[in-house]
Amino acid sequence: MLVVIRGAGDIATGIAARLHAAGCEVVMCDIERPTTVRRTVAFSEAIRLGACEVEGVRARRVDSVQDARAAARSGDVAVLVDPEAACVRELKPSALVDAILAKRNLGTTIADAPAVIGVGPGFAAGLDCHAVVETKRGHYLGRVIWEGSAIPNTGVPGVIAGHGADRVLRAPAAGVFEPVLNIGDTVHAGDVAARVAGTDMLCTIDGVLRGLLAPGVAVTEGMKAGDIDPRGVREHCFGISDKARAVGGGVLEAVLALTGALR
């Protein structure tokens, strides 16, 4: 079964990993310069580096639909620079998953594939997709919604160890992002994590630096550019998160149900 995923960030990667483990062939589509913060657990890094690996699953950048098909058949996750997912017309996948997490639908339609799954807010099951998977932390995380939409975006990050919005690092100015620290570093409030246009981006709390934009990314002031995990467990920076794994399970459930793969 071939599945195309729009987006290749950390949540999309959790989805891809679960589909891959279940035997699906996976092709992912993203932009030329991804703005993924949790880069160590995101297949979007294959676009920048040519290839990457997350929890034993290898992803590699491909530059054509034909190469994407071949890479997926070989057991790798194929990653295409294809923001509009134009490859869907040629690949004709069994399922399309929109995991861009834009909080709105950027062009996915229910007619794009036999099974179309929207991830998070911005989709309505039965209208622009067949099913929606909940992404909000809490009791309903990973739930498959067959009618209606996910919980609306509140704009407030989920709370981890008592910290919510304060664990997110934001670009202090517009310009080119220049990391000073590395993902996995132990940090304290006030440490300089990166610079933009000569302005320091300071760590807001103590913990471990779980995410940081790649060098050279163009940012706007206030844009999410880093993430601190107050639990301070370095290993968490290099493994798929509980949230991504739960959402991935919901997508896998929806794909199997919609395609009749277990019947």
Sketch out the chain's domains with CATH numbers: 2-153+242-259 (3.40.50), 165-230 (2.40.50.100)
Classify 245 as helix, strand or coil. helix
Structure tokens belonging to residue 124: 């309505």
* Mean pLDDT on 60-71: 98
Distance CA 247, CA 253 (A): 10
Structure tokens belonging to residue 174: 């517009």
Distance CA 184, CA 201 (A): 17
pLDDT digit string (tens) for 216-256? 999 999 999 999 999 999 999 999 999 999 999 999 999 99
Selected residue with higher pLDDT from 214 and 155: 214
**Ordered strands of the 25-30 beta sheet:** 51-54, 57-62, 77-81, 25-30, 2-6, 95-98, 115-119, 131-133, 144-145
pLDDT digit string (tens) for 4-30? 999 999 999 999 999 999 999 999 999
How many beta carbons lie within 10 A of that of residue 263, not counting itself? 6
CB proximity list for 69: less than 8 A, separation 6 or greater: 2, 27, 78, 91
Look at residue 259 in the predicted model and tell me its pLDDT.
Answer: 94
* Mean pLDDT on 49-63: 98
Rounded to the nearest integer, the mean pLDDT of the chain is 96
* Mean pLDDT on 104-109: 95
* Mean pLDDT on 67-93: 97
Look at residue 162 in the predicted model and tell me its pLDDT.
Answer: 82
Where residue 164 falls among pLDDT bands split at 50, 70, 90?
confident
Look at residue 229 in the predicted model and tell me its pLDDT.
Answer: 95
Where residue 159 falls among pLDDT bands split at 50, 70, 90?
confident
Look at residue 160 in the predicted model and tell me its pLDDT.
Answer: 80
By percentage, how much of the chain surpasses pLDDT 70? 99
* Mean pLDDT on 31-57: 97
Q: Beta-strand (E) ranges in the chain?
A: 2-6, 25-30, 51-54, 57-62, 77-81, 95-98, 115-119, 131-133, 144-145, 168-170, 175-179, 186-187, 192-196, 199-202, 207-212, 218-219, 224-229
Where residue 155 falls among pLDDT bands split at 50, 70, 90?
confident
Structure tokens belonging to residue 249: 């399970």
Look at residue 262 in the predicted model and tell me its pLDDT.
Answer: 58
CB proximity list for 66: less than 8 A, separation 6 or greater: none
Look at residue 261 in the predicted model and tell me its pLDDT.
Answer: 65
